[in-house]
Amino acid sequence: MGGINQIKTAALLGLLSGLLVLGGYYLIGDESGLYIGLALAAFTSFGSWYSSDQAALASFRARPIERHEAPELYDIVASLSDRAGIPMPKLFVAPTKSPNAFATGRDPDHATVAVTEGILESLSREELEGVIAHELTHIRNRDTLIQAVAGTVAGAITFIGRILTFGALYGPVTRDRRQGANPFGVLFLIVLAPIAAALIQFAISRTREFSADLGSAEITGNPAALASALEKLEAMGHQIPMNGNPAMSPLLIVNPLSTQGLQSLFRTHPSTEERVRRLLELAKEKQAALKTAEKLLPLRQS
């Protein structure tokens, strides 16, 4: 499953970059636009790789905390980081009663886990361990980098679409440098490309969330605790909205703005119901395996 998710993520990132290159092509009007699009893809990817953590933390006004401020949280993160096989990340707390958490950083050596005041007050220790292990899996899998790059490239595509929208008011310039030709290419970049970019970005996020849920279950050995935490976070998140930059919502463990029906295409996360269902199935499988092992133990001893 992990290998398939990696392939899907790479393909989706490739599609995003392709849209950005195509945008540069139509923006300039000839082949030189391809190179500009490639340069934009490289520049935005590098920028998001280096500074995405600062932008995310600033968006939710998160502040660093010391061990004496939250010793239990420090102990949980230290223990789970050791189990996950990664360095202990920095810890930040966001000043909001909305229960949520996210991870950010360009690699496991430069990573941060941020939790809200609300999540510390709402979850039991086992539930909090499930959430922290989920975020540590994002760090271990470098999902924080993937999501940052996807969001930045998608934003660049939308920006190009806005430029073309402005230019179309005065007559678009196209490949042969003539005014008013090739309206379909411009229409694609103005309307369809930003929508496609958003859908691809959200598909990447949904793919990585399932993987992080599985990683949490592996690290803690308690998938039911994360399932319980997700149900609480979903219910409370709708009651207490999480303020911040909407572009950063794919980083959150639960997006309180999740929708139903056709609008679910634009959801940054899989449905909480589906995530809980998978985790509870995993818990049943784990329990069944333990019972089987208990039955076989006397036979082996004899």
- Tokens 């009651």 correspond to 239
CA distance 127 to 272: 15
> Are residues 122 and 236 in contact, defined by beta-carbon separation less than 8 angstroms?
yes
149: helix, coil or strand?
A: helix
Q: For residue 188, is it left (φ>0), alpha (ψ between -120 and 50) or beta?
A: alpha
Q: Is 231 exposed, middle or buried (0-12, 13-18, 19+ CB in 10 A)?
A: middle
| Radius of gyration for the alpha carbons in the chain, expressed in angstroms and rounded | 22
Task: Tell how strand 90-94 and strand 111-116 pair up.
Answer: parallel
For residue 43, the 8-state DSSP code is: H
Backbone angle region of 124, left / alpha / beta, with phi > 0 → left and psi within -120 to 50 → alpha:
beta
The type of residue at 220 is: T
**Dihedral sign computed on CA atoms, order 8, 263, 40, 248:** negative
Catalytic residues: 135
Q: DSSP per residue over 175-207, as a string?
A: TTS-BT--HHHHHIIIIIHHHHHHHHHHHHHHH
Q: Are 262 and 280 in contact (CB under 8 A)?
A: no
148's CB contacts (< 8 A; 6+ apart) are: 48, 49, 52, 56, 104, 106
> Does residue 93 contact residue 74 with C-beta atoms inside 8 Å?
no
